[in-house]
Chains A and B, each alone.
Chain A
Amino acid sequence: MTPPPIIRVDKARKTYGEKVAVDDVSFSMPPDAILGLLGPNGAGKTSLIRMITTITAPDSGTIYFNGEPLSGYHPTQIGYLPEERGLYKQMYVGEHLVYLARLKGLSKADATAQAHEWLAKFDLDGQWTKPVEELSKGMQQQVQFIATVIHNPKLLILDEPFSGLDPVNATRMRQEILRLHANGTGVIFSTHRMEQVEELCEFIVLINQGKNILEGKVAEIRRRFQDNKFHLEFGGDLPPGINERFRLINHTPSGVDIQLVAGQTGNDLLRYLLDQHVHIVTFRELLPSLNEVFIKQVSTKVEA
């Protein structure tokens, strides 16, 4: 028997006044996946996440955690790093982490031990008795991240986790996320930064205007949206007649991109090239980037 999905959202709906923030969204998150929750600003990502974290409840529909409907006990198994995040400025670092860990149900001793361990991992063990407000911004972000994972959650929800992080910290956090994932923690990763999604996620759900408009494995989605483009690198010259048979859309220093039209296949192109004795160095299909898929699906301007 396969394990149940970590999170299964079944027709979740949430309205705020007249506005439908989440409109009957359904999806399943395979166990041990890193799920990218994508969508433009205001698409309903945060509303959806707040329901998964039990901060709010859906107006209708159900969300299942490991096969059980969400209940008051589940927040202890979820670690949530909101987009709008902060710390109590006047608390001490160690005390703060222990407080947040205890709210997640850890005993005082466990919370203290975990806090020490995680601070050491981020080279912050000297900061235990320092007030949060005296830490640099980067350190505060690390402390926020530690607070999210300190109770060893089964599910980690990260809303724009890398925003405002310098490259060193971003890399370190990415490594930790991957390590936690390797140890069996499910990760939901919400962002509108496509390059980060391509880098981290195996699986995406694309939300627009409260609706789930696309979901699946990243590789499959890119394949699904492939539109007969090929990239060719070659030695020598292209045959002069190629323009009459094929549409060359992009000349790059290394080669050309070719857009095939209906009825043409990659094999047709390849056969033609071989017949014309073109010296082929590279021939590959061009898959659309997630960014292109995203723009195509959302057809609104995406913030870079």
Chain B
Amino acid sequence: MDNLWLVIKREYVTRVRRKSFILATLLTPLGLAVFFIVAQFIFSYGNDESTRVAIIDEAGIFEGTAIPDENGLYFVKTNDDIATVMAEIQEEKEGGLNALVLIPAIKNPRVKDVRVEYFSDDPLAIDTRLAIDRRLEKALREYKVKTLGLDRAALAALETNVEIRTKKITLEEGEKADTTMAGVVGAGLGTVMGFLMYLSIFIYGTMVMRSVMEEKTNRIVEVIISSVKPTTLLLGKIIGVGAVGLTQVLAWMVLIPGVIFLVSIFFGFDADSAQQMQQMQAGSEMDPEEMQSMVEKVIGGLGTLNWWVIIPCFILYFIGGYFMYAALFAAVGSAMGDDMGESQSLTIPITIPVILALYIMMAAIQAPNSSLAVISSFIPLFAPIVMPARLAFDPPAWQIIGSLVVVLAFALAMVWLAARIYRVGILNYGKKSSLAEMGRWLFSKY
């Protein structure tokens, strides 16, 4: 027990103080912040070139209304004839006209297709095209409503917004019947938890593997196991690296929101530019009231989730999933030879189930009670990634308990199995071992 503690401590301390660890822990949030700033910059980066577009409105659809400008894009209604305008465009004067839009007269107000012409020597940029398009469609709609004498109120009534409110029939104590947002929120939460599992398994599982390979190529391992049982060393390694992972994740949970907050102060990511950003995305305009009620619904949805089940279960799945995969990675690491490059192929049998589990997880969020999702919850290599994603959808208790038992038992079995491969593998110097050999080690005497 003392030795287990010493091993855990060494694994933890020597890793956490490493420059690469400190840099990764600090730079990842910074990297995110930089990404954030750049992304914001790109979004807010409209057209910085000013374009003046003359409009010759033969149809009269803009009669009596001003055409709204947009950053860098100015519209000028003109009564000049085409030749004059074109001549002006050709002059290429500073602040002069750049393009001409000719809207032909409309003979039939019921027309479905209207063709306008755009004259310019410059190519038509996509955002300019969209801006003109939007303005024309809006003006044409107004024009048609007016000339056809349509009832505005009736038109507005054509568009109906349907909302499905879900209500639970059997209520447990303290539960709210309204679960409207639970599904959406659950899907979001499930995705986040599933991905978190997936990433942790990969990042920290391979960290355990590298640690095993390092000891083997350093030739320290034989000295260590003359004092410590290989199983103790393996367990200490898995727990120590797990603690490193936990430290890193916790640091990120504090640092990432902190950095984003600081960035928003220093780089003026304020409400204005956020709004601008939204306006840039045509069609996603949402009025603040609607936004607020949305937020309230999400919070309400979060409130309906059964956190007392979700959080402890997530932690248990996390532990089980981490231990089973870390043990497998360690076993593979112990079988690797001095040439790490050629040994990478040994990790494929582990990465395949992880990636499959990720896909099943994504399917399970769409249909949390499909037989695929339910069966996968009992397949130990998939369950740690699939089941956390289902937790928010309130799966039956027998499934949670059954799946947890399977996962934890399998994790223990994997640690035991890995230890048997590990104790032989670490003393096999030189070339990498095949999967068949690893299989034989399982049954070899100690």
A102-B6, A103-B6 given; A78·B226 CB < 8 A:
yes
What would be 25 A-B contacts, judged by CB atoms less than 8 Å apart?
A17-B440, A53-B226, A54-B226, A55-B222, A55-B427, A57-B445, A59-B445, A72-B229, A75-B226, A81-B223, A82-B219, A82-B222, A82-B226, A84-B219, A85-B219, A85-B220, A85-B222, A86-B220, A86-B223, A88-B218, A89-B218, A100-B227, A103-B224, A103-B228, A144-B223
Q: How far is the CA of A54 from the CA of B429 in the complex (A)?
A: 19
User: Does the CB pair A84–B429 fall under 8 Å?
Assistant: yes
Please provide the chain A residues from 162 to 180 with a CB less than 8 Å away from any CB of chain B in the complex: none
User: Is B247's CB within 8 Å of the partner chain A?
Assistant: no
User: Does the CB pair B227–A57 fall under 8 Å?
Assistant: no
Please provide the chain A residues from 132 to 155 with a CB less than 8 Å away from any CB of chain B in the complex: 144, 147-148
Please provide the chain B residues from 89 to 135 with a CB less than 8 Å away from any CB of chain A in the complex: none
Residues of A within 8 A of B210 (CB): none
Nearest residue (CB) in B for A90 is: B14
Residues of A within 8 A of B (CB): 16-17, 50, 53-57, 59, 72, 75-76, 78, 80-82, 84-91, 99-100, 102-105, 144, 147-148
User: Is B225's CB within 8 Å of the partner chain A?
Assistant: yes
Nearest residue (CB) in B for A89 is: B218
Residues of B within 8 A of A56 (CB): 446
Residues of A within 8 A of B219 (CB): 82, 84-86
Residues of A within 8 A of B226 (CB): 53-55, 75, 78, 80, 82
User: Does the CB pair A99–B6 fall under 8 Å?
Assistant: yes
Residues of B within 8 A of A53 (CB): 226
Q: How far is the CA of A264 from the CA of B445 in the complex (A)?
A: 55
Residue in A54, A75, A84 whose CB lies within 8 Å of B222: A84
User: Is B165's CB within 8 Å of the partner chain A?
Assistant: no
User: Does the CB pair A88–B227 fall under 8 Å?
Assistant: no
Nearest residue (CB) in B for A72 is: B229
User: Does the CB pair B227–A103 fall under 8 Å?
Assistant: yes
Nearest residue (CB) in A for B225 is: A55
User: Does the CB pair A75–B227 fall under 8 Å?
Assistant: yes
In this complex, the interface size class of chain B, counting residues with CB under 8 Å from chain A, is 20 to 34
User: Is B77's CB within 8 Å of the partner chain A?
Assistant: no
Residue in A72, A86, A89, A99 whose CB lies within 8 Å of B10: A99
Q: Smallest Cβ distance from B349 to chain A, in angstroms? A: 23
Q: Smallest Cβ distance from B292 to chain A, in angstroms? A: 53
User: Is B279's CB within 8 Å of the partner chain A?
Assistant: no
User: Is B18's CB within 8 Å of the partner chain A?
Assistant: yes
Give the secondary structure class of A's interface. loop
B424-437 CB mask vs A (1 if < 8 Å, else 0) is 00010100000000
A82-B223, A82-B226, A85-B219 given; A91·B427 CB < 8 A:
no
Q: How far is the CA of A87 from the CA of B218 in the complex (A)?
A: 6
Q: How far is the CA of A84 from the CA of B223 in the complex (A)?
A: 9
Residues of B within 8 A of A (CB): 2-3, 6, 10, 14, 18, 215, 218-220, 222-229, 427, 429, 440, 444-446
Residues of A within 8 A of B6 (CB): 99, 102-103
User: Does the CB pair B14–A103 fall under 8 Å?
Assistant: no
Q: Smallest Cβ distance from A101 to chain B, in angstroms? A: 10
Residues of A within 8 A of B229 (CB): 72
Residues of B within 8 A of A90 (CB): 14, 18
Seed contacts A85-B219, A89-B218; 18 additional CB < 8 Å A-B pairs: A50-B427, A57-B445, A75-B226, A75-B227, A78-B226, A82-B219, A84-B219, A84-B429, A85-B222, A85-B223, A86-B219, A88-B218, A90-B18, A99-B6, A100-B227, A103-B3, A103-B227, A147-B223
Q: How far is the CA of A16 from the CA of B446 in the complex (A)?
A: 10
Q: Smallest Cβ distance from A201 to chain B, in angstroms? A: 22
Q: How far is the CA of A72 from the CA of B6 in the complex (A)?
A: 17
Residues of B within 8 A of A50 (CB): 427
User: Does the CB pair A86–B224 fall under 8 Å?
Assistant: no
Residues of B within 8 A of A54 (CB): 226
Q: How far is the CA of A80 from the CA of B222 in the complex (A)?
A: 9
Residues of A within 8 A of B429 (CB): 84
Q: Smallest Cβ distance from B6 to chain A, in angstroms? A: 6
Nearest residue (CB) in B for A50 is: B427
Q: How far is the CA of A78 from the CA of B226 in the complex (A)?
A: 8
Residues of B within 8 A of A104 (CB): 227
Nearest residue (CB) in B for A147 is: B223
User: Does the CB pair A80–B223 fall under 8 Å?
Assistant: yes
Q: Smallest Cβ distance from A164 to chain B, in angstroms? A: 12
Q: How far is the CA of A75 from the CA of B445 in the complex (A)?
A: 20
Q: How far is the CA of A53 from the CA of B228 in the complex (A)?
A: 11
Nearest residue (CB) in A for B233 is: A103
Q: How far is the CA of A84 from the CA of B6 in the complex (A)?
A: 23
Q: How far is the CA of A81 from the CA of B219 in the complex (A)?
A: 11
User: Does the CB pair A57–B18 fall under 8 Å?
Assistant: no
Q: How far is the CA of A56 from the CA of B441 in the complex (A)?
A: 13
Nearest residue (CB) in B for A92 is: B14
Q: How far is the CA of A91 from the CA of B223 in the complex (A)?
A: 15
Q: How far is the CA of A148 from the CA of B226 in the complex (A)?
A: 10
Q: How far is the CA of A144 from the CA of B220 in the complex (A)?
A: 10
Nearest residue (CB) in B for A99 is: B10
User: Does the CB pair A86–B427 fall under 8 Å?
Assistant: no
Residue in B2, B220, B446 whose CB lies within 8 Å of A88: B220
B227, B427, B440: residue with the most chain A Cβ atoms closer than 10 Å: B227
Q: How far is the CA of A85 from the CA of B370 in the complex (A)?
A: 54
B3, B6, B218, B228: residue with the most chain A Cβ atoms closer than 10 Å: B218
Q: How far is the CA of A105 from the CA of B226 in the complex (A)?
A: 13
Q: How far is the CA of A90 from the CA of B227 in the complex (A)?
A: 20
Nearest residue (CB) in A for B5 is: A102
Q: Smallest Cβ distance from A36 to chain B, in angstroms? A: 20
User: Does the CB pair B218–A86 fall under 8 Å?
Assistant: yes
Q: Smallest Cβ distance from B338 to chain A, in angstroms? A: 11
Nearest residue (CB) in A for B215 is: A88
Give the top 4 A-B pairs by smallest Cβ distance, nearest first: A86-B219, A103-B227, A86-B218, A82-B222
Q: How far is the CA of A227 from the CA of B35 in the complex (A)?
A: 85
User: Does the CB pair B222–A57 fall under 8 Å?
Assistant: no
Residues of A within 8 A of B227 (CB): 75-76, 100, 103-104
Q: How far is the CA of A270 from the CA of B429 in the complex (A)?
A: 57
Residues of B within 8 A of A72 (CB): 229
Residues of A within 8 A of B445 (CB): 57, 59
Nearest residue (CB) in B for A104 is: B227
Q: Smallest Cβ distance from B439 to chain A, in angstroms? A: 12
Q: Smallest Cβ distance from B443 to chain A, in angstroms? A: 11
Residues of B within 8 A of A81 (CB): 223
